[in-house]
Homo-oligomer: A and B are copies of this chain.
């Protein structure tokens, strides 16, 4: 508070050495006598000295800060991944700065702000950010786009998701239960990921000569899943709803059960996507196209490590989804 933090120069005086020596005491592999180092560390501890990371970053050209651009913090699917990623970053002594924003212009503003902090890495967890914007704003830091559109761009690394096989499996099961009238309940209209996910299922249907009988758009929330499903079920006769994520699927399941009196899986099949922990709760037990979150974050960390190692060129990793079987389809 009132008491200012002690600087290396002051500590140098206290320890009877130069500030360069103080610096060396705190740099693991630098030429310094071990007796000197021990003495300095003792004095440092005594006075609560820690090197100033801001000053160090300025000098190093390395801030050890990582910008995480996310759509939302509460969203369960992202949250599980964010949590894993934050832990992994921290284990490498990297500090995550969260950029979380719904509005488009604010988001760009925010990314510009973060870029002035000379972040070492940028992980874009949001499909609401265009690759071009990311590259422009962080022009000195190669961004990592997560589950992003498969455009090739030499300035971007990415983790991509392939759920087509799992979608095929799920449609197969539902169709063999005798259901033929499928609806798709999308997340946001503007989301690229949503279009990709939808495509997996549409293609899977096409392979069996089926097409979507109805379609609706929500916003990934429970409420939108509930409300849109009510409307959907009133206007179209369908016996299966594929939802853009698990939370909407839970909403759809509730809508079918409470408003229409239809139960899963007999009257109607309901499928989610993400494979969040909540999907496996006893009260939900959702059939869902799920992704291994750990593998996912492993992939992100691998890209970060590649960037750190200054390996040339961008890189991209593709992960495959699997079906999780519950009692809703």
Residues of chain B with a CB closer than 8 A to A96's CB? 97-98
Residues of chain B with a CB closer than 8 A to A113's CB? 53, 93, 95
Knowing A110-B90, A117-B54, A281-B251 are in contact, say whether A74-B76 is a contact too (CB < 8 A).
Answer: yes
**A83 in contact with B72 (CB, 8 Å):** yes
Q: How many residues of A contact B (CB 8 A)?
A: 62
Residues of chain B with a CB closer than 8 A to A155's CB? 1
Binary CB contact string for chain A from 124 to 157 against chain B (1 if under 8 A, 0 otherwise): 0000000000000001111000000000000100
**B250 in contact with A283 (CB, 8 Å):** yes
Knowing A51-B116, A254-B283, A283-B250 are in contact, say whether A100-B90 is a contact too (CB < 8 A).
Answer: yes
Closest residue on chain B to residue A136 by CB atoms: B48
Chain copies in the assembled complex: 2
Binary CB contact string for chain A from 308 to 320 against chain B (1 if under 8 A, 0 otherwise): 0000000000000
A51 to B93, alpha carbons, bound, how many Å?
25
Knowing A98-B98, A222-B277, A283-B254 are in contact, say whether A80-B87 is a contact too (CB < 8 A).
Answer: no
**B73 in contact with A82 (CB, 8 Å):** yes
Closest residue on chain B to residue A53 by CB atoms: B116
A117 to B115, alpha carbons, bound, how many Å?
16
A3 touches B (CB below 8 Å): yes
Residues of chain B with a CB closer than 8 A to A90's CB? 99-101, 106, 110
**A4 in contact with B140 (CB, 8 Å):** yes
Knowing A50-B115, A54-B57 are in contact, say whether A73-B100 is a contact too (CB < 8 A).
Answer: no
**B97 in contact with A140 (CB, 8 Å):** no
Closest residue on chain B to residue A314 by CB atoms: B1
**A116 in contact with B76 (CB, 8 Å):** no
Residues of chain B with a CB closer than 8 A to A83's CB? 72-74, 100
